[in-house]
Amino acid sequence: MAIPVSNLLRPHDFPGLLVVVEGIDGSGKTTQAQLLRRWIESRAHPVFFTEWNSSALVKKATRTGKRKAILTPMTFCLLHATDFADRHMYKIVPPLKAGMAVVADRYAYTAFARDGARGVHPDWVRNAYSFAVRPDIALYFRVTPELALTRLRASRAKLKYYEAGMDMRLTHDVDESFLKFQGRVIAEYDRMAEQESLLVIDASRPIAEQQKLVRGIVAKKLGWAYRGEEA
């Protein structure tokens, strides 16, 4: 399949800064994204936060499909691509044009990893997201599926059907399915790390240590002085 020239392959020319965080469920990426957002705000710099699967355009359809467990890998891919396209046009590009920092909890790389793990052709997925602006900073919080499972089990009683990959029919045991499916997702992320210039952060480290690394990376990009102040 021929792939059009992707915006992800070239730097954008907007005055704003796009920072995306990636990682499997239970990696702690959302915590890091929220801490980063608040820190940027504390520097009196305008910042906008956006998260995966949050567009009102397809939220109802996605919720219904998940509740009834009727989403095929391709349907899942198309719904998320539609969600992303809507948010990209109205929630990501405008703040970047205005010179703001945009912190995105998951980006196109989530689709590349998850859809790839579900067997959707990688060229097809990349084609669907070829319009996406290239991030200035893409952070990949890497964690083992075992540690991620431990964290999720400690925070809530039940794993979600699709995060555990139960739709893949890998096993009837939900915990075992999570480990197998998320292991596939990690393999996809690891393959992308060098190809897509993702900055890998050890997500097993203490939260404050990770946040200091994140702030240092962002501060350097923005030309700010940062000496590792308490996160």
Render each residue's pLDDT in the chain as its tens digit; 231 residues. Answer: 444 568 998 999 999 999 999 999 999 999 999 999 999 999 999 999 999 987 777 777 777 767 767 678 888 888 899 999 999 999 999 999 999 999 999 999 999 999 999 999 999 999 999 999 999 999 999 999 999 999 999 998 789 998 999 999 999 999 999 999 999 999 999 999 988 889 999 999 999 999 999 999 999 999 999 888 776
- pLDDT at position 1 is 44
Write down the pLDDT at residue 220.
95
User: Distance between CA 159 and CA 169 in Å, rounded?
Assistant: 15
Task: Kindly list the structural domains of the chain, giving each domain's residue range(s) and its CATH number in brackets, ordered by start.
Answer: 16-221 (3.40.50.300)
- pLDDT for residue 89: 95
d(CA 53, CA 182): 18
Predicted local distance difference test score (pLDDT) of residue 194: 83
Overall pTM > 0.85: yes
